[in-house]
């Protein structure tokens, strides 16, 4: 077991966890295809996985109905002082939380194999990358981590004898007694689920859930919650942002990092197919950006992940043809429906629904209760390298230079199609006050307004007031090399509920205007909220859209914006004296411009 492990700290930690969790055996993952295929074959044999006839090397899993998504109310940021975690995080003191979880971990891997997964977030040789070690008792987690990160011997070699790593301990919390039959998706009841982050120690402990970001600890846990706290200490940025490259007909490259709350078209934008002639779009990453200032003084970004963990329902050749082509093979599907032909299906997929399928709970569908066939949060896990529009530089160790930051949300009214910040600090204000109307993909009643600063509210590993300060500090360090900042809203409607903007590939027209703003080519008009496209400066060639709709898309309703101010004030007030004075100044300046 310990032969491939030469790092003393890692050896000691493996032994400590082995004694605490009491597995039947310990296995150090090598990241090979053979390892992946062996584990998958075991899960097919046990009934945990279903091999899909219609997709090469692809498998379907069904989770327990209690274990279907991230559990924000069971997710903790544990710091010595509650103020360090701030008002947007669940806090428990480290000693108390560790005592509770150690009791749960005692013997929790009985009857199971303890897998040690050495993984790299980012290309192994990148100066921006970090190494994590996940210990888990779930073979499903191992296979997903194979796709989502870079796993195996190369990581251990890079770690060496004295390298630093981020320990990530995970258990499904379902020990097996001798002779006890396993279930297809073992997990613990909701009240025993804990996803805990000890940010001062760069330590993650997760218990009780086998699903998604609760169990694939490289994902939100390390890549955002732990990484955001590390980035604050070390002077870089870990953000919930897609990264894309846009190339003009003249061959000039622009790199855009964009943050949107869920259900706002993030993955669709990451894999955009431009509708404007001569422009090319390539995906660098669909979810997370790690960014450092390089010797050229600019911010360079890597995608720390190696795969896509996407929401299946709603994904189609209409909404995201590139994603549909990406998942044709080598994919893991979770909580999708199974057709009689041996393929997956979900609501929103192209074509007619199947006449019969097995739903995500393993029942015949359609059923008399008219329930959905695929869970709303059903997922696909797939290698990013399979994406037809993956950028050739997506694994470039030093990353790509960011020209533009984009924030956005879903607002039926108020927010125009696009506007630009007056300066970087104004852009930070835009990100800090970002809002979206909730949909069925969010928690809360449909249509409620939810502030989600930088799309990081569930993922910031420390006090968000300090996080805003970090953004302002990074802007000061970048100076005139800071990216330009824009805000978009693809979701504006008429009073009778009609979409004003066609969206999808047409969003490339808005991105083109941003690039032309960076180059000083496109005109803008000053408004109280920021710089809006001058009529005629958006490229609408070939787009059938009523001129009145364009006017409506770019309209600023002064009274509606004035009515928005109290909600921004209330949002900022929760951060107390941690709120940077600069954001108070930006809010006051907006009020004054509104008159």
Beta-strand relationship, 280-285 and 242-247:
antiparallel
Q: Quick: pLDDT tens for 505-535.
A: 999 999 999 999 999 999 999 999 999 999 9
Distance, CA of 252 to CA of 83 (rounded, Å):
46
Q: Which helix (H) or strand (E) segment is 40 a member of? A: helix 33-46
Question: What's the average model confidence in pLDDT over 68-73?
Answer: 93
DSSP string, 303-363: ---SEEEEE-TT-STTT-HHHHHHTTBS-EEES-EEETTS-EE-TT-SSPPPSSEE-TTS-
Mean pLDDT for the chain? 96
Q: How many alpha carbons lie under 13 Å from residue 304 in its C-beta half-sphere? A: 29
List CB contacts of 416: < 8 A, sequence separation 6 or more: 489, 492, 529, 532, 553, 554, 555, 556
Separation CA 255–CA 273 (nearest Å) = 15
Q: How far is CA 326 from CA 242, 315, 330, in A?
A: 17, 12, 9
For residues 578-591, average pLDDT: 98
pLDDT of residue 83: 98
Task: Confirm if 225 and 197 have CB atoms less than 8 A apart.
Answer: yes
Mean pLDDT lowest among 322-331, 365-374, 393-402, 573-582: 365-374
pLDDT-derived band of residue 445, with 50, 70 and 90 as boundaries? low
Q: Would you call 239 helix, strand, or coil by DSSP? A: strand
- Tell me the per-residue pLDDT of 10-39, one tens digit each, with 9 for 90 and over: 999 999 999 999 999 999 999 999 999 999
Q: What is the pLDDT of residues 85-96, one digit of tens each?
A: 999 999 999 999
Q: How far apart are CA 171 and CA 174, in angstroms?
A: 8
Whole-structure pTM over 0.95, yes or no?
Answer: yes
- CA 409 – CA 2 distance, rounded (Å): 49
Strand-by-strand arrangement of the 357-358 sheet:
344-345, 337-339, 357-358, 364-365
pLDDT of residue 368: 86
Residue ranges of E strands in 52-112: 59-61, 75-77
Beta bridge partners of 449: 437
Whether the per-residue pLDDT at 438 is higher than 80: the answer is no
Residue 447: predicted pLDDT: 62
For the chain, the first-to-last Cα distance in angstroms comes to 70
pLDDT digits (tens, 9 = 90+) for 451-506: 999 999 999 999 999 999 999 999 999 999 999 999 999 999 999 999 999 999 99
- Looking at residue 443, what is its pLDDT? 45
CB atoms within 10 A of CB 320: 22
Which whole number is the average pLDDT over 348-369?
Answer: 95
| Paired sense of beta strands 299-302 and 280-285, if any | unpaired
What is the percent of the chain where pLDDT is above 70?
A: 98
Cβ–Cβ < 8 Å for 226, 164: no
DSSP string, 467-529: HHHHHHHHHHHHGGGSPEEEEE-TT-B-TTS-BSS--GGGHHHHHHHHHHHHTT-S-EEE-SS
Is pLDDT at 1 greater than 80 in this prediction? no
Residues ≥6 apart with Cβ < 8 Å to 154: 31, 120, 124
Work out the pLDDT band at 288, boundaries 50, 70, 90: very high
- β-pairing, 337-339 with 357-358? antiparallel
Question: 408 - beta bridge partners?
Answer: 488
In contact, 479 and 589? CB cutoff 8 Å? no
Kindly indicate the confidence band of residue 369, based on its pLDDT and cuts at 50, 70 and 90.
Answer: confident
DSSP structure class, residue 223? I
Query: For residue range 31-62, what is the model confidence (pLDDT) as tens digits?
Result: 999 999 999 999 999 999 999 999 999 999 99
Residue 467: closest CA among 15, 36, 5, 89: 89
537 phi/psi in degrees, rounded to 5: -85, -15
Grouping H, G, I as helix, E, B as strand and the rest as coil, residue 132 is strand
Tell me the domains of the chain and their CATH numbers. Answer: 8-30+75-234 (3.40.449.10), 239-303+394-594 (3.90.228.20), 307-383 (2.170.8.10)
Mean pLDDT of 186-215: 97
- Sorting pLDDT into bands at 50, 70 and 90, what band is 442? very low
Report the helix count and the strand count for the chain, using DSSP H and E: 16, 31
The pLDDT value recorded for residue 269 is: 96
* 379-437 pLDDT per residue, tens: 999 999 999 999 999 999 999 999 999 999 999 999 999 999 999 999 999 999 999 99
Instruction: Please state, in angstroms and as integers, the Cα–Cα distance from residue 223 to each residue in 59, 302, 347, 543, following that order.
Output: 26, 12, 30, 39
Kindly state the percentage of the chain with pLDDT values over 90: 96
**In angstroms, rounded to a whole number, what is the distance separating the alpha carbons of residues 590 and 422?**
11
Helices 581-594 and 558-573: angle between axes, nearest 10 degrees: 160
374, 312 Cβ separation under 8 angstroms: yes
Which of the residues are catalytic? 264
**253, containing H or E segment:** strand 253-259
Rounded to whole angstroms, how far apart are CA atoms 240 and 362? Answer: 34
As a 3-state breakdown, the chain gives helix, strand, coil percent values, each rounded to 5, of: 30, 20, 45
Measure the CA–CA gap between 119 and 304, rounded to whole angstroms.
Answer: 11
């Amino acid at each position: 077991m310990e032969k491939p492990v030469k790092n003393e700290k890692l050896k000691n930690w493996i032994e400590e966890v082995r004694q605490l969790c009491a597995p039947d055996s310990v296995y150090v993952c090598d990241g090979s295809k053979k390892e992946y295929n062996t584990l998958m074959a075991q899960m097919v044999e046990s009934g945990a996985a279903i091999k899909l006839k219609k997709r090469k090397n692809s498998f379907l899993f069904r989770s327990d109905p209690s274990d279907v998504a991230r559990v924000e109310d069971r997710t903790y940021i544990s710091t010595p002082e509650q103020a360090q975690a701030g008002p947007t995080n669940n806090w428990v003191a480290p000693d108390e939380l560790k005592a509770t979880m150690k009791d749960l971990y005692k013997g929790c891997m009985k009857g199971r194999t303890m897998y040690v997964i050495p993984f790299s977030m980012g290309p192994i040789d990148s100066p921006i990358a970090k190494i994590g070690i996940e210990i888990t008792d779930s073979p499903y987690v191992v296979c997903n981590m194979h796709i989502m990160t870079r796993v195996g011997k190369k990581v251990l070699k890079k770690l060496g004898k004295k390298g630093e790593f981020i320990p990530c301990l995970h258990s499904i919390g379902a020990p097996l007694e001798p002779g006890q039959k396993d279930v297809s998706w073992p997990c613990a009841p909701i009240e025993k689920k804990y996803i805990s982050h000890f940010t001062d120690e760069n330590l993650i402990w997760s218990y009780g859930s086998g699903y998604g970001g609760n169990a694939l600890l490289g994902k939100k846990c390390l890549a955002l919650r732990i990484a955001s706290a590390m980035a604050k200490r070390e002077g870089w940025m870990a953000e919930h942002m897609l990264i894309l490259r846009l190339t003009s007909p003249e061959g000039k490259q622009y790199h855009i990092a964009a943050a949107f709350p869920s259900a706002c078209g993030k993955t669709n934008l990451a894999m955009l197919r431009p509708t404007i002639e001569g422009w090319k779009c390539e995906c660098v990453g669909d979810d997370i950006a790690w960014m450092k200032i390089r010797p050229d003084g600019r911010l360079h970004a890597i995608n720390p992940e190696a795969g896509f963990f996407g929401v299946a329902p709603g994904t189609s050749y209409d909404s995201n043809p590139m994603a549909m082509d990406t998942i044709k093979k080598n994919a893991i599907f979770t909580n999708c429906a199974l057709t009689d032909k041996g393929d997956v299906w979900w609501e929103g997929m192209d074509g007619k629904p199947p006449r019969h399928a097995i739903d995500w709970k393993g029942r015949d569908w359609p059923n008399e209760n008219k329930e959905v066939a695929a869970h709303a949060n059903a997922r696909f896990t797939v290698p990013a390298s399979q994406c037809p529009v993956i950028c050739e530089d997506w694994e470039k160790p030093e990353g790509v230079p960011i020209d533009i930051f984009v924030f956005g949300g879903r607002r039926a009214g108020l927010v125009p199609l696009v506007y630009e910040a007056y300066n970087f600090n104004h852009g930070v204000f835009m990100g800090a006050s970002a809002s979206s109307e909730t949909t069925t993909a969010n928690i809360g009643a449909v249509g409620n307004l939810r502030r989600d600063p930088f799309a990081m509210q569930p993922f910031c590993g420390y006090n968000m007031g300090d996080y805003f300060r970090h953004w302002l500090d990074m802007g000061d360090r970048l100076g005139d090399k800071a990216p330009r900042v824009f805000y978009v809203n693809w979701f504006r409607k008429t009073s009778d509920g009609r979409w004003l903007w066609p969206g999808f590939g047409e969003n490339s027209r808005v991105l083109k205007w941003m690039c032309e703003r960076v180059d000083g080519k496109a005109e803008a008009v000053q408004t109280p909220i920021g710089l809006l496209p001058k009529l005629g400066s958006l490229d609408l060639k070939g787009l059938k859209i009523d001129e009145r709709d364009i006017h409506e898309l770019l309209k600023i309703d002064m009274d509606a914006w004035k009515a928005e101010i109290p909600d921004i004030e209330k949002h900022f007030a929760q951060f107390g004296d941690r709120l940077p004075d600069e954001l108070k100044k930006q809010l006051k300046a907006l009020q004054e411009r509104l008159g």
